[in-house]
Structure 1
Amino acid sequence: ELVAKAKGGAPLMYASGGPGVPGHLASEMLLEQTKVRMEHVPYRGPAPATQAVLGGEVACGFLATPTVLPHVKSGRLVALAVSSEAPSSLAPDVPTLAKALNQPGLDVSFRLVLQAAKATPPAVVAEIEKHAAEIMKQADVRERLKNYDLTAVGSTSAQAQQVMTAEMKRWEPVVKRLGLKAE
């Protein structure tokens, strides 16, 4: 319905927590996939972006599940889809974007990767890697991450590098199209 509405009339505006944040990039990937145009309205963080959607300043926004879930539960917002490949454990009744748009394989989710400076000695990297893997296995850590709609993976540095390389390849066209630069 949102895509149809965006195709059918005056341009809609969407909120994000700022230029280049996950919600901005996810929205732009959605717009590219659906061949729809909307105007981006960047806010200074997820709270003001959420308030803009709640207040009707903008039509929608890709905002973090924990940020908007209280407003969805209260009936003030409608959750249309989650950006991840798999349904969210926090909002299991909300379809994935791929399912909502009937586009199998569509995934506009993000990965968080623990990083260290390139000059970090290999022994230190190994120690960090070891402790990080141990921490990611702890039930209380996994539960806390789940409350933020995050899934603990825990991997080696080589696996993390593979993830980062794949993510850069996936997001590069969107970043280039938008003309975003690291600051």
Structure 2
Amino acid sequence: MFRRRHLLAAGLAPVTAGDASAQAWPQRPVRILVPYPPGSGTDIIGRILAERLQVAWGQPVVVENRPGAGGSLGTEVAARAPADGHTLLIADTGPLAIAPTLFARLGYDPLVDFAPITLLARLSYVLVVNPAVAARDAAQFVALARAQPGRVAYASVGNGSFTHLAMELFRTSEGITLNHVPYRGSAPALNDVVGGQVAAMFVNTLSSVDLIRAGRLRALAIGSQARLPVLPEVPTLTEALGKPMAAEAWFGLLAPRGTPGEIVTRIAADVATLAADPVQRARMEATGAEIAVTTPEVFAAMIREEGARWAPIVRASGAQVD
């Protein structure tokens, strides 16, 4: 498993005077492709990043949403873009680590078609239930599911999505049977949990913190390795279950394969500088995200390791997309 000790906010090689391609770049606006709709966790992080990078680069940095196929559509568009540093991609666990096993045919290879730049952040997922559900913690939820096998329903944003697989990991770990109700997107899924049509869901902190604080959702456990400042009262899954378990997605920045190494190195260094800014860190962490930047080499190794970790979970779930 990828170790946090490898996460580096410093140590990225500076661009030297001889790096002509990096010095000349960017020559025009830079677009950051986000393979999800506006308002998604990836989109929120992308827009915070774009706002700061355009100041650093002196060129407009525009977020372009290309949703579809669980993030794979926009990721494929990015893979086919010119490798000149003017098109970047923010992608997460789904299209980079889950999709290669989930899709029978995929239009890109995350290990071949991209130049990884840096990990950006980790985002925890929370096990939530409608407040009317007779479970005030994860252990009571497990007991409820055991007493009613197959009758307790949970929502996801689609077959093979992170929200689906996180619950499958939880379900198999606890030996319970749940009823999976897939939706087309996070908004309708979350609305039905809030409305009581579905009992439970794994949902990211970006989308759920305000609803939890307002009492419209009850948080049972959080998938981070430690409790989060935004929800300090919510135990981790490991605390709640008494055994190691995590439900944590990650986001990273990539460029198309063939992008000059000098440009990749410069972008990684610029992102690391922004990540070290206390104001920007506070802004990101207020959403429940944990800032975590790396070198390009470490991020490339992480993508490979995460793909290997999620492959058996996808297969065990039975989810597949033609």
Query: 1:41 corresponds to which letter in structure 2?
Result: V
* Structure 1 residue aligned with 2:256: 117
Cα offset for 1:71?
2.2
* Structure 1 residue aligned with 2:142: 3
* Structure 2 residue aligned with 1:98: 238
* Structure 2 residue aligned with 1:137: 276
CA contact (8 A) 1:13 1:41 kept: yes
Q: How does 1:156-175 map to 2 (within 5 A)?
A: 156-175=295-314
Q: Distance in 2 between matches of 1:48 and 1:107?
A: 25
TM-score, normalized by length of structure 2?
0.53
Higher strand share: 2
Cα offset for 1:147?
2.1
Q: Distance in 1 between matches of 2:266 and 2:321?
A: 29
1:56 aligns with 2:191: no
- Matched residue of 2:165: which SS? helix
TM-score, normalized by length of structure 1?
0.90
Change in 2 beyond 3 A, CA 1:146/1:160 = same
Cα offset for 1:66?
2.9
Query: 1:89 corresponds to which letter in structure 2?
Result: P
1:35 aligns with 2:175: yes
Change in 2 beyond 3 A, CA 1:144/1:17 = farther
Question: RMSD value over aligned CA atoms?
Answer: 1.8
| Higher relative contact order (CA closer than 8 Å, sequence separation 6+) | 2
* Structure 1 residue aligned with 2:292: 153
* Structure 1 residue aligned with 2:209: 69
CA deviation vs aligned residue, 1:13-51 (integer Å, no higher than 9, x gap): 101222333222211111121111212212222221111
Q: How many residues align?
A: 182
Cα offset for 1:144?
2.0
CA deviation vs aligned residue, 1:60-101 (integer Å, no higher than 9, x gap): 000112322222222222100011111122101000011111
CA deviation vs aligned residue, 1:130-171 (integer Å, no higher than 9, x gap): 112112112222122112211111110111122222222221
Q: 140-149 or 171-180: which moved more?
A: 171-180
Query: 2:249 corresponds to which letter in structure 1?
Result: F
Q: Distance in 2 between matches of 1:98 and 1:73?
A: 22
